[in-house]
Copies of this chain bind each other. A is one copy, B any other.
Amino acid sequence: MSERFEPSNPDFARVVRDSFARQGLMSTLGAQIVLLEPGLCVIEMPYAPGVSQQNGFFHGGAVGAIADSAAGYAAYSLMPAGSDILTVEYKLNLVRPALPPTLRAEGRVLRAGKMLSVCRADVYCTANGRQEACALLQSTLMRLSRIASD
C-alpha cells in the first residue's frame, strides 16, 4: 500500500512544524516529531508518570493522541498552502501494553483526497528487546481553508 507522494506545498515541513508547535497537548505529553516526509510523520513520546494509566503503562488516551497527530500531520504534509486540517474521526486498537520507555507513532497517508484523507498509524514500543506494535490507528482527516490569519 506504500506509495510515494509529491507535496503540493514545497514549504510543507515548516507549516507542519509550526502547527505542531502550537499544539499545547503535544508539549504537555513531551511528544516530538522525529521524522517528516511527504505523507509520513513519526512522533516519539518518552514515558513519564504524567502519561500513565493505572498499571504504569502509557495511557491509551496518550497513545491515541500521538497516533492521531502522527496521522494528521502526515495528511497535512500533502495539503496545499493555506490549508488547515481537522480530524473527522479516528479508531485505535490497543494490541498490547504500551510499555516504557518510549513510544513511536508512524503515521502514513493511504488516500489523499481533495477534501478527505485517510491515514493509518502504527505505534511501537520496545518489548522483549525489539520494536513491537502496541497500537494501530485508522483515521479520516478533513482539509479546511485556514481559519486564523497567520
Contacts and interface: CB of A to CB of B under 8 A. Distances in A.
A97 B147 CA distance: 12
B28 A60 contact: no
A64 B3 CA distance: 24
Given A110-B95, A110-B133, A133-B111, A89 B89 contact: yes
A89 B84 contact: no
20 contacts: A23-B53, A23-B54, A24-B48, A25-B52, A26-B59, A28-B51, A55-B148, A60-B65, A60-B86, A60-B90, A61-B61, A61-B62, A61-B65, A61-B66, A88-B116, A89-B89, A93-B138, A95-B110, A95-B113, A110-B136
Contacts of A122: 1
Nearest to A20: B54
